Amino acid sequence: VQLQASGGGLVQAGGSLRLSCAASGGIFSSYGMGWFRQAPGKEREFVAALTWSGGTTYYADSVKGRFTISRDNAKNTVYLQMNSLKPEDTAAYSCAAKTGVFGGLRSARTYDYWGQGTQVTVSS
């Protein structure tokens, strides 16, 4: 499975960005998908995730109400709509795929495949 993230960029505080993660190989529609981020000097942290059907979503408290994760299984793509961006959202954002049935979607350790990061920079 290969994951290709895109959509990052430079935006002013209060602005919006939409990240995309396109998957190839495997059976995308059966995977749980997640977004994680890592800022310089900080550990990677969970941002958002959703189940294979998109029926259940999970968010970090820091982004709840501002970010929305969604997926289009016909396009093998997962999205992260980010609104009301803050400078503290600045980080490299990576998408990940979880193929197994065990483990929670909030934990990076349970994901099997990772895409490269796309940089999001929010200026104040």
Query: Would you state the pLDDT for residue 19?
Result: 98
Query: Would you state the pLDDT for residue 88?
Result: 97
Cβ(113)–Cβ(97) below 8 Å: yes
pLDDT in tens, the chain (124 residues): 999 999 999 999 999 999 999 999 889 989 999 999 999 999 999 999 999 988 999 999 999 999 999 999 999 999 999 999 999 999 999 999 999 877 799 999 999 999 999 999 999 9
Query: Would you state the pLDDT for residue 103?
Result: 78
Please choose, from the candidates 88, 70, 73, the residue with its C-alpha nearest in 3D space to the C-alpha of residue 19: 70
Distance CA 34, CA 94 (A): 8
Distance CA 69, CA 91 (A): 17
Main-chain phi, psi angles of 28, to 5 degrees: -55, -40
In what order do the strands lie in the sheet containing 77-82?
2-6, 17-24, 77-82, 67-72
